[in-house]
Amino acid sequence: MLRKLLKQEFRATARVMLPLYLVTFVLALAVRLVLLLSQNQVLLDSVGGRTLRAVLLGVSVTAFVVAAIATFLAALIQAVLRFRSNLLGDEGYVMFTLPVSTHQLVWAKLITSAVWFLGAAVIDALALLALVVNLGMFQEFGRFVIEVKEQLTAYLVGNGIAFLVELALLFVVGCLVLCLNFYAPLAIGHSFARHKLLWSVVFFFAIQIVIQIIGGVFGLIALPHLWSVNFNFMTAAAAAHAMMWSSILVTAIYGAILYGVTLYMLRKRLNLE
């Protein structure tokens, strides 16, 4: 049943995200075209040529930057709105009567949002690449790969792959937690009979303040002990892996708490009236 929920979520959100991805990439190509035209000496020497170049470049770059940022904002906004409208609004009467668990309802939202966040990162990276790529870069990159390959050892390859996996895992966990940062206060706020949205905003800031306080207290307690630890036995690679896994673990624990709160409020305290 989770597969059907995911299919429905992707179908509903793709109509916004896919055109936005396309617009972002097209705007990157537009910026690249303006940069190429600006190299045309005839255009620059013409009356108003430099002004026209400056205007076109300014407009296209601004539009591209806005679109690149919008891909992430749109993914986040859709994650919040879909959660609120499907589970906390009038549609909730239908959704909670389906033969699915609350886990599946929440995970359908989380997985869909994580995929769109990942897609935004990929499309923005490709768009930036389209801005700067040329034949010479491919040739230089080929030589660079050959040189690196000659210098690499199995140890470095293994650590490099492991670090990329850890970075990808941290990104995914971070995306899920970002969504849960909104899901939990929304679920709490909609347990009240009146002023649901207002209570959701209040609890959003309350949760953030509590997390900041806990993080600050933990830092004050842990930092003196960390400074006293002898890290000479750790290599640079081991220290980097330890830092990555610590970040993943802390983020996952925070997310698990938010997930538990969200689940409890949806199951026990949700007020759809």
Q: Are residues 168 and 126 in the same domain?
A: no
Rounded CA separation 133/121 (Å)? 18
Q: Is the same domain home to 183 and 126? A: no
Distance separating alpha carbons of residues 71 and 24, to the nearest angstrom: 8
Residues 110 and 5 placed together within one structural domain of the fold: yes
Do 183 and 89 share a structural domain? no
Report the pLDDT value the prediction gives residue 103, as an integer from 0 to 100.
Answer: 92
13 phi-psi bin (left φ>0, alpha ψ -120 to 50, beta other): alpha
- The pLDDT value recorded for residue 150 is 57
- On the CB side of 3, CA atoms within 13 Å amount to 0
Residues 133 and 214 in one domain: no
Residue 66: the pLDDT is 92
The pLDDT tens digits for 213-259 are 887 887 777 666 555 555 554 566 677 788 888 889 999 999 999 99
Q: Are residues 106 and 199 part of one domain?
A: no
**Residue ranges of the chain whose pLDDT lies below 70:** 38-50, 134-159, 222-237
20's CB contacts (< 8 A; 6+ apart) are 67, 70, 71, 74
User: Which of the listed residues 151, 184, 217 is the one where a domain comes to its end?
Assistant: 151
Q: What would the pLDDT profile of 98-111 be if each residue is shown by its tens digit?
A: 888 999 999 999 99
Percent of the chain with pLDDT over 90: 44
pTM here? 0.83
Domain C-terminal end among 95, 122, 151: 151
Report pLDDT for 61: 85
Please report the pLDDT score of residue 271 as a whole number: 80
Pair (2, 89) in one structural domain: yes
Residue 157 and residue 70 in one domain: no
- Tell whether 104 and 35 lie within a shared domain: yes
Q: Looking at the structure, tell me whether residues 119 and 49 fall in a common domain.
A: yes
- Together in a domain, 96 and 211: no
Closest listed residue to residue 255, CA positions, set 172, 167, 181, 170? 181
Q: Furthest-apart CA pair in the chain: how many Å? A: 72
- What is the tally of structural domains in the chain? 2
Domain that holds residue 162: 152-273
**Whether residues 42 and 134 fall in one domain:** yes
